[in-house]
Amino acid sequence: MKYLGGIAKNRKVSVEKEEVTTPIRIDELAKSLPKEAFTEINLVLDKPKKVWVTTFEVEISRLKGIRSVAIVMNASSFDEATDVDYFITNVDSNKVTPQWVVETYSQRNWVEVFYREAKGWLGLKEYQVRHKRSLLRHFILVFCAYTFILWHKLTGGLRRRWGNKPLNSFPEALEAFRTAISYRFHNWLKNNANVFARYKASFGYIWA
C-alpha cells in the first residue's frame, strides 16, 4: 500500500554523502541545508499558501529499502521558519516532487471532512451490530448515501427542485434531501393510511 505520512522531527535517517552513509536526525538535516535546496511552492487552497519544500532519498532504521522524505517549511530557511513538517513516502521516487508532496498532503482535509460529516449526519458510528458482514453492510450504506447526497449537491439537483437558496454545506444538502423524502412520504401516506396503521399495530401501537 502506498502512503504519505508525517514523521517525528527526531527520527534518524541515513543519508549518503560523498559515498559515506551517515545517520542524522531529520530536523538537524533540515537545519544544515542551504536555502538553494528548497523549492518555493504556491498552494491554491481556500486561503493561498506559500511553502518551501525539499525532497531526498534516505534509509531508515527498521524499514527495508529506500524511502523518500520531504521537509516542508513556511519560510525559505530553517532559521526563519515557524512551522516545519517532515514527511515520508514509499511512492516511486520519480513521482515524489515538492509539488506532489504538498498537493497530496493538502488533500487529507477532505478525508477528515468526510468522516466528520458521515459520523455526525449519517450515523457512521451508530451501528448496533457486531458481525463483520453486518458492519460492512452498514458502512457501504453510509458511503452510498453520502455519495448520493453529495453528487446531488455538486450537480445542483437538490437545489433545482427542493431548495430556493444555495446549498453550501453537506448538512444543507441533507436537509433538502429530507424535505424531498418527507414530501413523498406525505403524498404516499394520504393514499395508504391503512397500510401505515397496520405497520404501527405490528409493534403494538395505535396510529389514530
Cell output for 104: 497530496
- Which pLDDT value is given to residue 18? 60
Q: Residue 9, Cβ neighbours under 10 Å: how many?
A: 14
Query: 105, 131, 166: which is the final residue of a domain?
Result: 105
- Determine contact, residues 17/77, Cβ cutoff 8 Å: no
Whether 72 and 56 map to the same domain: the answer is: yes
Alpha carbon distance 27, 186 (integer Å): 63
Q: Is the pLDDT of residue 61 over 80?
A: no
Reported confidence tier of residue 73, pLDDT bands at 50, 70, 90: very high
Residue 84 burial (CB count, 10 A): 17
Q: How many domains does the chain have?
A: 2
Local structure of 21: helix, strand or coil? strand
Q: CB of 189 within 8 A of CB of 196?
A: yes
Q: For residue 62, is pLDDT > 80? A: no
Confidence check: pLDDT of 19 > 70: no
Query: Quick one: cell of 119?
Result: 459520523
Range of the domain at 86: 4-105
CA 158 distance to own-chain centroid: 24
At 104-129, the pLDDT tens digits run 888 877 778 888 889 889 999 888 88
Out of 105, 123, 146, a domain closes at 105
Same domain, 14 and 98: yes
- Model pTM? 0.60
C-beta of residue 49 within 8 angstroms of C-beta of residue 26? no
CA 105 to chain centre: 9
Give the count of beta carbons closer than 10 Å to the beta carbon of residue 33. Answer: 15
pLDDT at 20 (0 to 100)? 63
| Over residues 140-156, mean pLDDT | 90
Residues 158 and 189 in one domain: yes
